[in-house]
Amino acid sequence: MSKRFPAVLLLTILVFLVACGQDVATPTSQPTPTEQVAQALPTETPAATATAPAPPVATSTTEPTATATATATATPTRLLLMSPEDFGDDRNPLTGELVEDPEALQRRPIAVKISNSPAEFVRPQSGLSQADLVFEHATEGPITRFTAIIYSQTPPDMGPIRSGRLIDAEIPQMYDAAFAYSGASAGVNFKLFNSPFSNRVLRSDAPGYYRTGEDKPFEHTLYGTPQTWWDYLEERELNRPPQFATQLAFSEEPPAGGEAVSHINVNYQDRMIVDWEYDEDSGRYLRWADGDEHVDRNTGEQISAANVVVVFALHQVDFGICEYIPIGGSECQAFSTEIQVWGQGSAMIFRDGQLYEGTWRREQPNHMLTFYDADDNPIPLQIGNTFFQVVALHYVDPVTVE
């Protein structure tokens, strides 16, 4: 008995100290930066475990091991990206995703103008699914056209490439991007070549463009190779990392207050109808165009997005810029539309099968669109790519959901 008494005494002292809340085995650990970010998630209040009483320790006749007093319950982490510091050097600020090659983030984004009409000549397009962000907007008609922002990925091809519109004097400024397009009307070109990004406008005579030679109207045969564009920017000492003036927010966990929505229909006055269906298995939205699965020619797969954001903006006809005069005609048949993506407006943010009503903002020309709820809190996007459906304020019931 006398040989075992010290061990029992030691155990008794340890049990007494643990019951009193004293840590006798290990120093108090500090939360990691990831845990601090997770605790800042505005949609959940983490459980307060720091002051909880220690569980009772069973009496034993053997000496306690070093691990007996060091056991702790692991707290699951939730990724929340709110500031430039949260992204570090290997997360894409436009998607929140980790990139395989961080060097890709050291190049300049490129905005590429992609056609969407007529469907029989332009679909399936190449490269839309590999863009970080895609804006779909009305032109004249109102048929739609895309401006795709490529940055972290390098699509082998992009196209068919078509002419720019007035909105393309805005989008490249948002993302400190170059702009690749087939040309534009005189009025739009004037704005592009008097813009802050005029030295990085990639006209169709720049390296990287090519014609496919397909048996279809000539204007639908222009494609481009993004790597060649980046090489060309590098030669001109213009291929530097982007300087983003504002920041998108991302989170793995959906914020509170969403409404369950599995289907989104966006109607551009019956001239273009877009459907997005939420796929629970992948956690992504699958795209249909005019009732057909919308496929990317580069991958052969249906286009999908982690986020779909409907941006409501004032559309105003600019009667000083003509977009179409019939061959041999003298009168303009279609004037340019100015889509006013500045100031603020209403937005519908879809992520994780949830709808969040909010407000978009863009206070300065070099600000990207950011999103806020009714309490002025940022609405975080799901990590991944985003499609923006830009819709005119004067459309009647352009968006329906189920």
What tens digit of pLDDT does each residue of 318-344 get? 999 999 999 888 899 999 999 999 999
Q: What angle do CA 207, 208, 209 make, to 5 degrees?
A: 100
**Does the pLDDT of residue 51 top 90, yes or no?**
no
Q: What angle do CA 47, 64, 19 make, to 5 degrees?
A: 45
At 333 the pLDDT is: 93
CA-to-CA dists, residue 356 to 255, 276, 297, 350, angstroms: 9, 16, 32, 6
Q: What is the CA radius of gyration of the chain?
A: 27
**Does the pLDDT of residue 72 top 80, yes or no?**
no
Q: What 8-state DSSP symbol labels residue 69?
A: T
Domains and CATH numbers, the chain: 1-78 (no CATH), 86-401 (3.50.90.10)
Please give the average per-residue pLDDT across 242-257, as a whole number. Answer: 97
Q: How sure is the predictor about 30, in pLDDT bands with cuts at 50, 70 and 90?
A: very low
Nearest to 392 by CA among 299, 223, 271: 271
Share of the chain above pLDDT 70, in %: 81
Query: What's the mean per-residue pLDDT of the chain?
Result: 86
Please give the average per-residue pLDDT across 172-199, as a whole number. Answer: 98
Nearest to 140 by CA among 336, 361, 345: 336
Please give the average per-residue pLDDT across 67-75, as a whole number. Answer: 40
Length of the chain in terms of residues written: 402
CA 276 to chain centre: 16
| φ/ψ (deg, to 5) at 305 | -150, 150
CA-to-CA dists, residue 378 to 42, 256, 374, angstroms: 10, 12, 10
Separation between Cα atoms, residue 358 and residue 376, nearest integer Å: 9
Nearest to 379 by CA among 246, 244, 248: 248
At 68 the pLDDT is: 38
Report the sign of the C-alpha dihedral through residues 237, 238, 243, 249, in that order.
negative
Residue given tokens 């008494």 in the structure block: 5
Instruction: Identify the helix (H) or strand (E) that includes residue 121.
Output: helix 119-122
Residue given tokens 């739609």 in the structure block: 144
pLDDT in tens, 304-324: 999 999 999 999 999 999 999
Please give the average per-residue pLDDT across 124-131, as a whole number. Answer: 98
35 and 77 Cβ atoms separated by less than 8 Å: yes
pLDDT in tens, 134-185: 999 999 988 999 999 999 999 999 999 999 999 999 999 999 999 999 999 9
Residue given tokens 């463009």 in the structure block: 209
More confident residue, 32 or 252: 252
Cis peptide before 118 (omega within 30 of 0): yes
At 77 the pLDDT is: 56
As given in the structure block, the two tokens for residue 366 are 């070099």
Model pTM?
Answer: 0.82
